[in-house]
DNA sequence: GCCCTTGTTGATCACTTGGTCAATATGCGA
DNA sequence: TCGCATATTGACCAAGTGATCAACAAGGGC
């Protein structure tokens, strides 16, 4: 109970002031307990931050392995586009958590422990695109002759993560519909294309 | 002279320990001067960091308006792909500066001044893709009927920035050739496609 | 030689931080 | 009711921070 309250307070402080603003005293004040209690339950501030990260990762799209109900389109290309659209559309609702995620991301550049956790989560996210990628390649073996599912996953992940950056930094300017329509136009094939 | 030395030392410290490791004493030690001199030239640590950002931004691909010599391909699509490839290929050589860039990026979430500078630089970068995007739309008005140059610029920027994230976080795993080949396969049209 | 601007030092201050710890409260089984 | 583990407090400490400032050095025009 108290533990969860402190962890929740930690998230509140972090969302408001960034990870740099997370001090034992700030969290304790936010949770309305004494500063000593933070150390009683979490031993150290670093450890508190790691536990907050463990809470955060499964709740942030970019790092979650759960992508929601599988789309029902038959065409693998449309299925993949649908999943991308779903993910990108969810980004704005996650702004606070994404800000925090990127804050941890930078922390991970210096902290091997945090880096490992973020990498694993990101790998899981990338891997979630693999089945769709394989289906796509299988459906168009000619077009995607020199393409691997890993390559597809990388490209898709790069795009979604890039969108996340835009959404967090420039939410007003980034037009999701426009970007998705552009992406669709870029990858779509002419309707009745005659190959060779 | 001393000023530049301190700024350079600031970059060295920041590249080694991150922006969080930039303290007046650390910079002074690195530059082999007394801590007081840092304040003599830069008034405050915050201001020193802002000046380092001003030095950094024009030297980081994601935020630079200079994209190198214009590619010579005739086809706008190939021109755009060539520019993207050029940018992405340069990312690994910029890892240290990109790390710093993302560190500032997170700082910008809380500091309006830094945020403004980063936004402007990112806008310039996005804008650099507009002419290429316009040429592409003009060359294929049918295919890109519902696409704007802004939308194209957004999508391209998202992709490159996403690649930058991958390069910084996972340089060993991210295969640039594979990603570029995948991207090319995604956007290429069948050679002799018959429209309607 | 003198003087005055500029550069340079490091001791020093006020403040914040993570973390410890003795003291105390609380709940609960026996 | 007692006893004891658990929970909780806040004063306290050492370490590190940004910033100030009196003192001193350098150098060059007169």
pLDDT in tens, B54-108: 999 999 988 776 556 666 667 888 899 999 999 999 999 999 999 999 999 999 9
How many whole angstroms separate alpha carbon A119 and alpha carbon A53? Answer: 12
Residue B142 is predicted with a pLDDT of 86
Confidence of residue A191 (pLDDT cuts 50, 70, 90): low
User: For chain A, what's the residue count?
Assistant: 196
Task: Write down the CATH superfamily of domain A2-52.
Answer: Homeodomain-like (1.10.10.60)
Q: pTM surpassing 0.85?
A: yes
Enumerate the residues of chain B whose CB falls inside 8 A of the CB of residue A148: 178, 182
How many whole angstroms separate alpha carbon A108 and alpha carbon A119? Answer: 9
Residue B109 is predicted with a pLDDT of 97
Query: Taking all residues of chain B, what is their mean pLDDT, rounded to a whole number?
Result: 91
How many whole angstroms separate alpha carbon B99 and alpha carbon B169? Answer: 9
A194 pLDDT above the threshold of 50:
no
Sign (positive or negative) of CA dihedral A137, A138, A139, A144: positive
Burial class (CB in 10 A: 0-12, 13-18, 19+), A152: buried
Residue A68 is predicted with a pLDDT of 60
Contact A166 B189 (CB under 8 A): no
Closest-CA residue to B86 (of B176, B187, B151): B176
Element of type H or E holding A36: helix A35-42
Residue B68 is predicted with a pLDDT of 60
Residue B187 is predicted with a pLDDT of 81
How many whole angstroms separate alpha carbon A93 and alpha carbon A172? Answer: 13
How many whole angstroms separate alpha carbon A83 and alpha carbon A71? Answer: 7
Q: Tens digits of per-residue pLDDT, A46-60?
A: 999 999 999 999 999
CB B162 within 8 A of CB A166: no
How many whole angstroms separate alpha carbon A99 and alpha carbon A86? Answer: 19
Task: Give yes or no for B134 touching A (CB within 8 A).
Answer: no
Cβ of residue A25 lies below 7 Å from strand C: yes
Enumerate the residues of chain B whose CB falls inside 8 A of the CB of residue A105: 102, 106, 165, 169
What does the pLDDT average to over A116-138? 93
How many whole angstroms separate alpha carbon A49 and alpha carbon A101? Answer: 12
Enumerate the residues of chain B whose CB falls inside 8 A of the CB of residue A147: 181-182, 185
Residue B194 is predicted with a pLDDT of 44
**Which of B106, B155, B192 lies closest to A182 in CB terms?**
B155
CATH 3.30.590.10 fits B2-50, yes or no: no
Whole-number percent of chain A with pLDDT over 90 = 79
Confidence of residue A88 (pLDDT cuts 50, 70, 90): very high
């Amino acid at each position: 109970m108290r533990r969860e309250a402190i962890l929740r307070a930690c998230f509140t402080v972090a969302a408001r002031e960034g990870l740099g603003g997370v001090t034992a005293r700030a969290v304790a004040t936010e949770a309305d307990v004494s500063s000593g209690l933070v150390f009683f339950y979490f031993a150290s501030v670093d450890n508190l931050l790691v536990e907050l990260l463990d809470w955060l990762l499964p709740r942030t799209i970019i790092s979650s392995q759960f992508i929601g109900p599988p789309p029902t389109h038959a065409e693998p290309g449309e299925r993949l586009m649908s999943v991308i659209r779903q993910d990108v559309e969810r980004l704005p609702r996650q702004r606070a958590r994404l800000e925090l995620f990127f804050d941890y991301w930078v922390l991970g550049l210096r902290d091997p422990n945090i880096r490992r956790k973020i990498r694993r989560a990101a790998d899981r996210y990338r891997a979630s695109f693999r089945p769709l990628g394989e289906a796509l390649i299988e459906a168009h073996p000619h077009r995607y002759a020199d393409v691997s599912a890993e390559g597809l996953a990388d490209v898709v992940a790069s795009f979604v993560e890039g969108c996340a950056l835009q959404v967090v930094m420039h939410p007003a300017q980034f037009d999701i519909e426009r970007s998705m329509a552009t992406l669709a136009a870029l990858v779509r094939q002419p309707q009745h294309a005659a190959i060779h």
